[in-house]
Amino acid sequence: MKRLYPASPLTLTAALLIAISSFAATAQDKKGVTEPELKYQAGGSPLAGEPMYQSNNPKAPPMTQAEFDTARKTYFERCAGCHGVLRKGATGKPLTPDITLAKGTDYLKVFIAYGSPAGMPNWQTSGEMDEKTVDLMARYIQHDPPVPPEFGMAQMKETWKVIVPPEKRPTKKMNNYNIENIFSTTLRDTGEVALIDGDTKKIINIVKTGYAVHISRTSASGRFLFVIGRDAKINMIDLWMPVPDNVAEVRIGLEARSVDTSKYKGKEGDFTDKLAIAGAYWPPQYVIMKGDTLEPLKIVGTRGMVVGTQEYHPEPRVASIVASHFKPEFVVNVKETGKTLMVDYSNLDALKVTEIGSAPFLHDGGWDSTKRYFMVAANQSNKISVIDAKDGKLAALVEVGKIPHPGRGANFIHPKFGPVWSTGHLGDETISLIGTDPKGHKQYAFKKVAELKGQGGGALFIKSHPKSQHLYSDTPLNPDPKISQSVAVYDIKNLDKGFTVLPIAEWAGLSDDGAKRVVQPEFNKAGDEVWFSVWSAKNKQSALVVVDDKTLKLKAVIKDPRLITPTGHFNVHNTQHDIY
């Protein structure tokens, strides 16, 4: 067997410098990549278990079928999030054979083992991979990328199930729950969501869903809950049932993140609850469905040219989707191409799409307080794209901190700048505030007007509420347990005094040694409680912690053996009305 490292220290150093500089030369400037960024970008993909077409490249180093299958699984679990399904590059560099074959196996092994300042994790020296796996992956990326299957209408119809037809559903609410204050909490590793009564803090039902539910969305009427797993399975839950549960389901692809429903009611018609939409990571497409049954009606692909470079991208993933309040439109954000698509759903037989170019790697975002402007993070571009949903245009591109990750962001009234929207960041400790009032505070509109200092990088969600005087920011991906297990809270009326730290994980009173990462502040309907997930591993105890927003004191801890890996949670009323 060939040795992994060159013989002498001098040769090793030279090889490392050559490998790292060569691969990083044309990459975006990401020097000083932090551990939170690496954790976030190196996420897995549900495609790891999918059968794929395999092409044998005679120029590539030999691999047995078993080796290839093992390497393919590792790639989709560890690498596809950065380098793309087809290895054409996303936030990471392209790893196609025209590039990798010229480098050679030994060269690639050094790069995989040690990583680079441009963002490549040091897989071997960090202990994540052993020498054998590094060798396997170095050979694998010299082969032609295996291609996952497409997922069209026929495949969707095979997965589509109407569990309770519309005519057999309740005609009135059949339970005594305060539906508007129900929380839908993702149980990430069990393929479920927990429906929790926000008034009593009791679990109403554990509902079977797709794997690793990414978001829950409430229909415009507030009756139905739509959840989507990373495996692209959508579940429709009827909150009027005696015990709320699934009434329909469908898969719209093999990997996905986003779902929403039509909300517009105006001169073009009443579209309340009439349609649903979901976007896929693979295949790159979005799907419009019937809002009462999830029957797929229209599939639209997103493959196309990247904003700016005008180069073709074969797998631009659909990230966040929201429903416009101003027009019968869905706002569809396409990650790699950097485009926001305003999809007019008033006539699906003559679909009209307005394409707005902003910046690559569009991810998540939320409405400003007027619900006219959608603020979406172009995360690897370090920008917030401001989409004017009324006029259908790009209002601004705002430079912010490193890798913004707002979730939906947070709206509040700043003492000086008026209405602002805010985001935290994965790559640094800052919180950026952006003015959102072009009429009353024109000089501050769509500019970064202030920057708060937070606990550290690794922030995923930030939240406030119209009835609250506080701003909450989590940091679950920070490598320091003291930071990842707590949250920072700011007094909106006195932001200059800095933040107060709430030891949420400590308050949970968990007895084991789990990670206890604190994630996603979410208000109740009244705006006087804030809920947090304390997220540990599947075999460790987790919990939900409820904080009194007025006093910042512990109010309740929700523990249950069924609360396995709780992550995101969504209040029905606040989600329905886009309150954050």
Residues taking part in catalysis: 79, 82-83, 120, 363, 405
Sheet holding 373-378, edge to edge: 362-367, 373-378, 383-388, 393-399
Angle at 530 between CA 488 and CA 376, to 5 degrees: 70
Q: Give the whole-angstrom CA distance, residue 259 versus residue 249.
A: 13
CA distances (Å), 2 to each of 58, 103, 137, 320, in order? 21, 16, 15, 46
Q: Give the whole-angstrom CA distance, residue 135 versus residue 49.
A: 22
Angle at 438 between CA 434 and CA 443, to 5 degrees: 70
Coil, helix or strand at residue 195: strand
| Burial call 308-339: b when 16+ CB within 10 Å, e when fewer | eeeeebebbbbbbbbbbbebbbbbbbbbbbbb
Q: Give the whole-angstrom CA distance, residue 390 versus residue 383.
A: 21
* Helix-, strand-, coil-residue percentages of the chain, each rounded to 5: 20, 35, 45
Q: Give the whole-angstrom CA distance, residue 269 versus residue 260.
A: 18
Q: Give the whole-angstrom CA distance, residue 199 versus residue 181.
A: 7
Nearest C-alpha neighbor of 79 from the set 26, 24, 134? 134
- Token pair belonging to 424: 């935290």
**Residue 176 CB partners (closer than 8 Å, separation 6+):** none
